[in-house]
Amino acid sequence: MIYIADPNPWLALYAQPLHTRIAAPTADLQSFLSTYGRSQQQTCTLSRISPEIESDLTEALATLPESLMNTLNKSVLGIFFADGLGASGLTDMVALGDGSNNIGFIIVLDTHAFAHASANAWASWKENSAFTADEEVQIQVCIANEDSDHRVQALRFLLLHEFGHVLATMTDICPKEWSFPLPKLAGHFSKHSWQTSGTKAIRPEQNFPHREKISFYRQPVLHVSQALDLYRDLARTAFPSLYASMDVQEDFAECFATYVHTQLLGQPYRVQVKVGDALVFTSDDFWASSRAIEKRRYFHNLLQSLEHNNAGHTFQGLAPFLRMNLNGADLRSHAQSLLVQANQDQENAILWMNLATVFLCLKMRDMGLAIQEQALALQRLYIRPADCRRPKFRLLMIMTAGDLSENTPIDCLLENTPVELLYYYATVEQPLPSPLPEHDAVMVGLSDSQANRALLLAVQASLSGHAKPVINPPHLLPNVNRDQLSALLQDIPGLEMPRTHKLSRSQVVTDLSLQNQGKQPAPEALPGFPLIIRPVGSQAGNNLARITSANELADYLKEVTSPDFFVSRFVDYSSHDGQFRKYRIAMLRGEPFICHMAISSDWMVHYVNAGMYESAEKREEEDLFMQNFTSFATRHQAALSAIYERLQLDYLCIDCAETPDGKLLVFEIDHIMAVHAMDSASLFPFKAGQIAKLQHAFEQYLYTLQTQPLLESA
């Protein structure tokens, strides 16, 4: 326990994102570490971390479940580094000196442990520290696949272990002195392997020879020649690792770390023993084995409890559900669970709103919109909390009811930041909330669809003379309409966007068909074949088609019954290898940031079906392109600058490509496209860092809008 006199500098840490809480605000922590070091007969001092490790820490946290991060952001004061810790890490509680209040946890990691650039090297070093060495016997631990064997994986695994100690305080094994105002979680953990009389009192059937001699890092008692028998004995127990068998607290932390690492993040955990050149032991998949059944059920319920706790009391937005969807989680089961809760608490608008988002993610549109309507009948203002107790910025988002494509999903970009999002679902009758909640800026997030025109005019009138800055003001949003956009972007050197014509169904049948049959001249230079056609208002490529003949056009019109269409000339933007490459670029006040690149043999490129998840070669090319994006941005600087000058939107996204003659080919520009770094870190280790650049820039932009700083926590 770390006892302090003044809590204010520590509490102020909660106003920062967790990954930036890396500097102790007072000398209290160093004093604690000095005392701790003397007890271990060594010198222990706080250390500054390199920018590389700081970046790795950010990436390690970025891939963890949203519900877990929400809990940690409110309970972990900081993650610090020290020299001479004598172990990979430790977790302890910070409390007032008079014992009246515990204010949060600190996690300290050893800098020496992360001198290993490889995750597997670190895990093997840790495992071998339990034994006296012998050159003839080798123990190797694999926690990362070969293509992702980096320090990030080691940091994440160790942090999961330390986070397990934090979560343990929400269970039946909470040390009395570590009580903290976090909600209790599901079930009783200790009964699975331990007697209730003490942390080291193991159940007889879980015990095995020499277990009590296991000690990591310091003066090992066991010789490595005993390892084979130990691991064979361990494989008959309900412990995932030797470390877990030492006591109930380490059991919980190791179970939590290995469960999230393998079951949620899809990473390996394997121990091998070699004698000479012979492989004599390979551990099984613990969490897939019959001996893990009870603990697997426990941790499944525990993580669901975290999700449910958030879902019932905290507006989730889109981000956590999109992450679950992208990572193959069972959204239907989650929807069913939320539905049960909502029916038991029918006046809970937050529950209904979260449930609506899940159904919309499942593409059950009618059900999702009906549930959303029920939620909005209860309330229209929802708060997506910052990742700290006192936000550094409050952004009021003006939204509209509707499907996921109707609004800017800014929470996907600003998750795990100290920015609080206030989502107000506007109506023509009440375009702004009354009374106005405290906020530092307004961002207009609703799309400029035909259905939203009256609402945008009402919002525009209400924001006239507004005291706070307005991001993406409503009068500029029509600039991204396909036809208006294509007109605005004509005659820009180095940029190509074929004119988009908005045609009624009858115009498509008469003017377009007859022109392309050569029976009449082209009115307003309508495009010839091949051409692109889509219904007005469609998104995500729905009913988008490339038409090469009058017969194809007739067949298309039989299938698609829309009254109005957008039509434009088709541009063949295939590269020399016949592949089509499409880029998504975010623009913040005119500065470009790369979001992704998709490669496909089909001209209609969508990231999710372009084979990016299946092809390591495509991912390598995307990685290289993102690393060298500055070259692309420089090459097209004039065109990108012209886009900002003509549209004047503070934040927008561009879907684009390069033509064979080197022009920037613009397909679409909008402020409602999704930008995120939620794809698997093992498949896309390069994405988090790129999106972090945009996230950081957006945060800094917001802070420049503040007329005065918010009060810090006290």
R_g (Cα) of the chain, nearest Å:
29
Mark whether 249 and 108 lie in a shared domain. yes
Scored b (16 or more CB within 10 A) or e, 190-209 reads bebbbeeeebeebeeebebe
- pLDDT surpasses 50 at 711: no
**Dist. CA 465–CA 476, nearest whole Å:** 16
Q: Are residues 359 and 420 in the same domain?
A: yes
Q: 198 pLDDT band (50/70/90 cuts)?
A: low
Regarding whether 169 and 67 lie in a shared domain, the answer is yes
- Range of 526's domain? 499-569
**Looking at the structure, do residues 565 and 585 belong to the same domain, yes or no?**
no
Where among 549, 569, 589 does a domain terminate?
569
How many angstroms separate the Cα of 560 from the Cα of each of 58, 539, 554? 47, 14, 10
What angle do the packed helices 151-168 and 51-62 form, to 10 degrees?
A: 60
Could you tell me which of 370, 270, 369, 264 has the C-alpha nearest to residue 320? 264
pLDDT tens digits, residue range 55-76? 999 999 988 888 888 889 888 9
CATH number of domain containing 614: 3.30.470.20
Distance CA 232, CA 226 (A): 10
Q: How far apart are the C-alpha atoms of 168 and 362, rounded to whole Å?
A: 33
Any idea what DSSP says for residue 204? G
Residues 241 and 174 in one domain: yes
Mean pLDDT of 158-166: 96
The CATH number covering residue 531 comes to 3.30.1490.20
Q: Where among 535, 569, 603 does a domain terminate? A: 569
Residue 390 φ/ψ, nearest 5 degrees? -120, 115
Q: What are phi and psi of 138, to 5 degrees?
A: -125, 135
Q: What is the pTM of this model?
A: 0.63
Domain match, 356 and 437 both: yes
One domain for residues 551 and 695 = no
- pLDDT score of 714 more than 50: no
- Is 575 within a domain? no
Ordered DSSP codes for 379-432: -SEEEE--SSSS-SEEEEEEE-SS-GGGB--HHHHHTTSSEEEEEEE--SS-SS
Per-residue model confidence as pLDDT tens digits over 478-503: 999 888 999 999 999 999 999 999 89
CA distance 347 to 86: 53
Question: pLDDT for 45-58, tens place per residue?
Answer: 999 888 999 999 99
Q: What pLDDT, on the 0 to 100 scale, is given for residue 517? A: 54
pLDDT 10s digits, 257-280: 999 999 989 899 999 999 999 999
Cα(269)–Cα(653) distance, integer angstroms: 39
Q: Is residue 42 part of a domain?
A: yes
| Structural contact between residues 581 and 658, judged by C-beta atoms closer than 8 angstroms | yes
pLDDT tens for residues 282-332? Answer: 999 999 999 999 999 889 888 877 876 666 678 889 988 887 787 676 778
CA–CA separation, 394 and 478 (whole Å): 26
The CB-side HSE value for 57 (13 A sphere, CA atoms) comes to 22
**Per-residue pLDDT reduced to its tens digit, 85-113:** 889 999 999 988 876 678 889 999 999 88
What string of H, E and C letters represents the secondary structure of 668-696?
EEECCCCCCCCCCCCCCCCHHHHHHHHHH
- 420-429, 546-555, 580-589: the lowest-pLDDT one: 546-555
Q: How far apart are CA 475 and CA 102, in angstroms?
A: 50
